[in-house]
Structure 1
């Protein structure tokens, strides 16, 4: 090798070592496999460089990333949202899940705007690096929807409202992330960061967002390793998972598959909200029936109050979402009939009409992720506005039922 070439090679090697010098790295030997855990920050361009540098400096048989299948596909195929079927989302009751994913996307976009880095750049660097070297990619993280549902069910009512508030705040706030928050982001996890101090102060929420995922990801690593001949695996994870996964790799002895299934299981919904809703309707229906015993006029007034309050508040929800006039009418007509079609909310009818009348355009899919990064974009984008319509009409119907019940019973006393 001539002198200039040798100098150039030495410069590259020095640069690689310099990039990796300050990065959190842990090496764990488990059986015949060495796991090299590289902790990354979601707001640092250096993290993406560190992934490239690690792949350049060392040889691996596989690359594991802190991604689930849907997030992996969104990196592989940024146009995936073009195939979103709104009618299916509404019919299958997945509006909340899609909205939560968009809220996370909004949080990522806000960080991207502030720091000038592509969301998930470090994961994309790992995927691209594995592709170039022909290495298998192991997806080890749990789906965000499962994590959010388990987190939601792990805490009480007030804490659940904080989760919803955290998701909402990620959409509505436009303030830059503070210096203190930046440092926490560099040491933590994207989902945990969305809920800020609340995640750190609630042991149950912290475990669902961080601890459970540490155990899940290690179980997935072990499961993938058992079906592979890999002996050295690069594991690219958020820095907040580094210590926990290092401990789990050293101590976890449960059979991987049952543990993965256990941690991926969504807890059944609590029964009391359903029984409370039934109880409220029974009381209101009984009050309306009792009103008829006092005279046809009294009964008719009670029935009219039920129709106007439930339909009216549902319609207000649709109006708040800037829905089409026919979607507003659909909400008004469907809400009073809710007891006669359990399982099919008025919001499904209204959102369905909205999606039919204002079919998403190509531009709506192209700009969806950017639009939801700004609160006003939720009303501008037809896809996001349909989701808002569903959620606002659901809330309006619920408020209308309680207001109607209070009004009817008060007039009978």
Structure 2
């Protein structure tokens, strides 16, 4: 029997209000034994205690700080366009875990490790990423329906894999493996505590959903 039997993956658009509502609905309906979210300790703390970082502050931390600054600005821009601050669905899962007394697990790779891997990307990929990131300061059309967002997102993921093979592996495939491994450990822990049919809900970005499910489905309990 595969681990996927015990884990329900909710794939979310981090800046979509509909994703936040879906997280709330599924958790309240399923009443899981555990909730897992696509965060590490540093990002978990940042979501709980949001602080604005200026470009001047980012520069003080060197290339690592600048990369994190650009990624933050991209999420902020998307949040403004779609009416939801970045990580709203993660905050919803965190709040419900607290209210319902459900154990909460952080399953993603450490952000500093991710950033260091990005810095090791081929020069071509880093240059292209910087150039494309500049468009974050330009207006773009608002999408009215989430199904349009999802369609556009799937197209974007295919294009991203083609343009950034190294970053795709680092940001998607390697993190899929880490999150799947952590989810399997959660299931094993619940079973060791005597829970015969554990129910775990994992809230991850839409780009990770299929990859994590595929790994879980290939591993037997």
Q: Give the corresponding residue for 1:245.
A: 212
In our comparison, the structure showing a higher alpha carbon Rg is 1
Report how many aligned residue pairs link the two structures: 210
Where in structure 2 are the equivalents of 1:97-176 lying within 5 Å?
A: 97-153=64-120, 155-167=121-133, 169=134, 173-176=137-140
Name the TM-score, length of structure 2 as normaliser.
0.80
Cα deviation per residue 1:246-265 (whole Å; 9 max; x = unaligned)?
A: 11112258xxxxxxxxxxxx
Q: What SS does the aligned partner of 1:78 have?
A: coil
Q: Give the corresponding residue for 2:31.
A: 59
Q: Which has the higher helix share?
A: 1
Cα deviation per residue 1:242-294 (whole Å; 9 max; x = unaligned)?
A: 111111112258xxxxxxxxxxxxxxxxxxxxxxxxxxxxxxxxxxxxxxxxx
Cα deviation per residue 1:164-211 (whole Å; 9 max; x = unaligned)?
A: 3344x265x2222575994456548xxx87xx9344433322111111
Where in structure 2 are the equivalents of 1:361-400 lying within 5 Å?
A: none
Q: How far apart are the structure 1 equivalents of 2:159 and 2:6?
A: 35
1:157–1:72 Cα change, 3 Å = same
Q: How far apart are the structure 2 equivalents of 1:70 and 1:187?
A: 28
Q: Give the corresponding residue for 2:47.
A: 75
CA-based RMSD: 3.2
Q: How far apart are the structure 2 equivalents of 1:116 and 1:162?
A: 28
Q: CA deviation at 1:73?
A: 0.7
Q: What SS does the aligned partner of 1:131 have?
A: helix
Q: CA deviation at 1:138?
A: 0.7
Q: Give the corresponding residue for 2:202.
A: 235
Q: CA deviation at 1:44?
A: 1.7
- The runs of 5 or more residues in structure 1 that have no matched partner are 1-27, 254-413
Bigger relative contact order (CA 8 A; separation at least 6): 2
Where in structure 2 are the equivalents of 1:200-239 lying within 5 Å?
A: 200-228=162-190, 229=193, 231-239=198-206
Q: CA deviation at 1:80?
A: 8.9
1:226–1:240 Cα change, 3 Å = same
Q: How far apart are the structure 1 equivalents of 2:130 and 2:111?
A: 14
Q: CA deviation at 1:159?
A: 2.0
Name the TM-score, length of structure 1 as normaliser.
0.45
Q: Give the corresponding residue for 1:45.
A: 17
